[in-house]
Amino acid sequence: MSVLVEVCIDSIESLPIAERAGAKRIELCSSLATGGLTASAGYMKAAARVAGIPVYGIIRPREGDFLYSGDDVEIMLEDIHTAKQAGLNGVVIGALQADGKIDETIVGDMIKAASGIGITFHRAIDHCSAPFDALEFLMAHKVERILTSGLAKRAEDGIEMLKDMAAFTQGRLSIMPGAGVSPDNAKRIIDATGVTEIHLSGKTTRQSHMAFKNENATMGNGDDFAITVTNPETIKDTLAALTR
């Protein structure tokens, strides 16, 4: 069985690294440290220009929950338009109501806005109080796949729910496990669930090439001179594990 490996990235530097390592689809994000936020228009255009594999842009205007205001929705619909104009192959969307159920109105509007390109529903499903109702809605609206940890912190811990989701959907949409996926557990997750796609970042850091470093000034809580990039060996090792 062939397994498609999707890699999430948050820099244009990582895109060719992931592609050369064997990724077959990219989830384009900024700020992976906060779970992934919408890429800028320039970043989307650059990704579409250099990629030789499909690129799906996450549509998430802020970190935190998936309960969105009218202003948030306006931004997301505009960002979907931007993704289409930039030439991306798809978008990654999601929205919930305060009671944890899928927000059918907002998600429906985003699906309409994304007409003509692919759609993944993101890990909002893992915070959903009625995930199987959400799956019914998403299947009815021809969403391609959901990215999910099986409602757990890590996909490896959500295997039973991932199996239930795959059985429930019966191939009408793809269940794509993600969160904590690594070369050590990818094959176990695939073998246990029978799914055909898997998602990981495989990220590491590299040191800045700056010759001058003022380490007394910081831009946030992290290290300003540690740059997040895809680790090609992690992607290669995951692919190798999946074929063993």
β-strand 174-177 against 226-230: which pairing, if any? unpaired
Query: CB-side exposure of 217: number of CA atoms within 13 Å?
Result: 3
Lowest mean pLDDT among 59-68, 186-195, 210-219: 210-219
Mean pLDDT of 161-190: 97
Identity of the residue numbered 62: R
181, pLDDT greater than 80: yes
Who contacts 151 (Cβ-Cβ below 8 Å, separation ≥6)? 125, 126, 128, 131, 158, 161
Domain span at residue 131? 4-243
Sign of torsion, CA 185 189 192 197? negative
The whole-number pLDDT of residue 17 equals 98
Compute the average pLDDT of residues 158-184: 97
Q: Total structural domains in the chain?
A: 1
Per DSSP, the three-state class of 230 is strand
Mean per-residue pLDDT, 160-188: 97
Please say if the pLDDT value at position 45 is more than 80.
yes
Sole residue written with tokens 């959901």: 146
Q: Quote the percentage of the chain above a pLDDT of 90.
A: 93
The closest of 104, 98, 145, 101 to 122, measured between CA atoms, is 145
Distances (CA, A) of 73 to 55, 94, 96, 125, 163: 22, 11, 12, 18, 32
Mean pLDDT of 9-34: 97
CATH number for position 89: 3.20.20.380
pLDDT at 175: 98
pLDDT at 223: 84
What average pLDDT does the chain have?
Answer: 96
Band the pLDDT of 218: cuts 50, 70, 90. confident
Question: Is pLDDT at 215 greater than 90 in this prediction?
Answer: no
pLDDT score at 28: 98
Res. 179: pLDDT tops 90: yes
Confidence tier at 222 by pLDDT (50, 70, 90): confident
Locate tokens 């806005």: which residue? 113
pLDDT in tens, 132-153: 999 999 999 999 999 999 999 9
pLDDT at 234: 98
Interval 84-114: pLDDT, tens: 999 999 999 999 999 999 999 999 999 999 9
* Short-list 60, 4, 46, 36, CA closest to 243: 4
pLDDT at 36: 96
